Amino acid sequence: MKRNLNKLWVAIVVLFLVQAGLQVRIFPIWVRDYAPKQTAPVGLSPDQLLAAVAGFREFLAAILWVRADSFFDSGNYDAVLPMLRLVTWLDPHNLDVYSTGAWHMGYNFTDESQRSDRRYIPLALKFLEEGIQNNPAVWDLYFEMGWMYYHKIQDPVNAVPWMQIANEYPNMIPARRHMLAHTLFKAGRFDDAVDHWAKLFLDAEKDRGKDWESSNLYDVRQKNLEDTILDLLRRYGPNPETQPPIDLGFDATVKVVRPRVLLVEGKLGIPTIGARVTVILRDKGKTLRYSPKALKTFTLEVDPKLTYMQDSLAVREEKFRREIDMSKDPKMYPFKAEEYEVEFIFEPRYASPNIQDRIGSDGVGMYDARYLEEVREKPDPVDVPEYAKISDALRREVENPTRETSYYRVRKVITLTRADILMLGKRGE
């Protein structure tokens, strides 16, 4: 009997070691594929917390997401943000929440004149980064990050690495692969853009006759490849239309017409319609850092003391003019700093194709005696998650970027004081 008992004790020890070994093996896979990732149940009421612990995490997340949708529909945007935090805590693998949430932060907080509150963009980037860390084996959020840089921030150089990562996933939607070529082109990497179109075209050729969708994809890629080559030939070929450079005669002025209301006007010698000048007003010496690394962790708060306004002004008959009213949105434009910079920028990368045909996609066909400057850029290093399914070569490239591109732009900066903008002492505030 005692011998049997000893055997049982030995069995217990052996089984304990085996289960411990199994647990040690299971844990990393669990962390990678199944872990909820967030552990701080911030903002959940006790009953919600109980439901989450009792196995209703995803259900509760779905209910909260439906609720967030109703807040969104009623225009209560501020209420949506804490919902995003809760939903992604409960269900960190719901890609819709990350992509919709980032879009919401990046695009929907606007002033009375529909200008975005760009202080939310770093939050959106951080939110997407968190989504990527939680879902590294899925292409969608890398693409969303790239799109945020490409479209909202209009920074194609930093969009490229994210689009490249998304593009390495074999299950990416075929039409979305086109964005990498567009991004490379805008980033000034013309050879890479042509190469990518050519690769996509050859891929589409294999399935050309399979069905209508495949034939359509083939046609689209063929047209884009041809257009890109023709654009480059027109702009940089043997007899480039971009030469001799056009004198922009750029200038801009700012006048405070009422407290917190600016009249901006100026001239830009582009002899065709469609050009746009970007105007930015911000605290002097402070720029918004459009990077997920700008924030240590995701937060729902923006800097309440920072004033940052950005608008896009249409140029007609070589002139631009607009009254910018910031008086109705004191939360968005708090004007707490003593000095402000008003920056006027015209850059060719996002200009319409007819303008790019004349001045080049990178501005080689434009000239300005006072405000022309060359911008040299390379992408910020990307923290690629450990489990991202990309090649080692791309991982090295995006983690330590070396490829530099350049373009020309015109830029003028005017400094104003707080007293100027608020018209202090002049029947102002």
Partner 1 sequence: MNATLAIAGATFGEAVRKRILMVILLVALLIILISPAFEPFAGGRGARTLILGFGFGVVQLAGTFIAIILCTSMIPTEIERRTIYTILSKPVQRYQFVLGKFVGAVGTLGFMYLMMGIVLMIASRMALGEFDPDILRGLIMFFFQSSLLAAVVLFFSTFVSPLVNYFLSGGVFLLGNLLSSFLESIQRDPEVTPLTRVPVQLLTVILPNFANFNVQNPIMNPEQVLTDPTAYTVQTLAYAVVYIALLLIASMLIFNQREM
List of residues contacting partner 1 (CB under 8 A): 5, 8-9, 11-12, 15-16, 18-20, 22-27, 29-39, 51, 53-63, 65-66, 69, 91, 93-96, 135, 137-138, 140, 387, 389
What letter does residue 316 receive in the DSSP assignment?
A: B
d(CA 221, CA 199): 10
Give least dist CB 94 to partner 1, A: 6
Give least dist CB 392 to partner 1, A: 18
Residue nearer to partner 1 on the CB measure, 54 or 393: 54
Give the helix ranges, DSSP H, for 279-428.
353-359, 392-399, 418-422
Residue nearer to partner 1 on the CB measure, 24 or 393: 24
Q: Tokens 């509760």 identify what position?
A: 60
Residue nearer to partner 1 on the CB measure, 11 or 257: 11
Cβ atoms of residues 310 and 343 within 8 Å: no
Q: Tokens 């029947």 identify what position?
A: 427
Residue nearer to partner 1 on the CB measure, 57 or 199: 57
Residue nearer to partner 1 on the CB measure, 83 or 355: 83
- Return the closest-CA partner of residue 138 out of 175, 173, 179: 173
Give least dist CB 89 to partner 1, A: 11
Residue nearer to partner 1 on the CB measure, 58 or 318: 58
Residue nearer to partner 1 on the CB measure, 96 or 373: 96
Phi and psi at 424, nearest 5°, equal -65, 130
Cβ atoms of residues 286 and 337 within 8 Å: yes
- Return the closest-CA partner of residue 277 out of 254, 303, 301: 254
Residue nearer to partner 1 on the CB measure, 97 or 268: 97
| Residues in the chain, overall count | 429
Distant-in-sequence contacts of 418-424, Cβ < 8 A, 24+ apart: 418/335, 418/337, 418/338, 418/339, 418/340, 420/256, 421/256, 421/259, 421/260, 421/262, 421/335, 421/340, 422/259, 422/260, 422/335, 423/256, 423/258, 423/259
DSSP assignments along 95-148, one per residue: HHHHHHHHHHHHHS-B-TT--B-GGGHHHHHHHHHHHHHH-TT-SHHHHHHHHI
DSSP assignments along 232-263, one per residue: HHHHHSSS-TT-SPEE---EEEEEEEETTEEE
Give least dist CB 20 to partner 1, A: 5
Phi and psi at 366, nearest 5°, equal -125, 155
Cβ atoms of residues 37 and 298 within 8 Å: no
Residue nearer to partner 1 on the CB measure, 37 or 418: 37
Describe the crossing of helices 57-73 and 95-107 by its angle, rounded to 10 degrees.
30
Token pair in block for residue 82: 């804490």
Residue nearer to partner 1 on the CB measure, 59 or 78: 59
Cβ atoms of residues 124 and 148 within 8 Å: yes
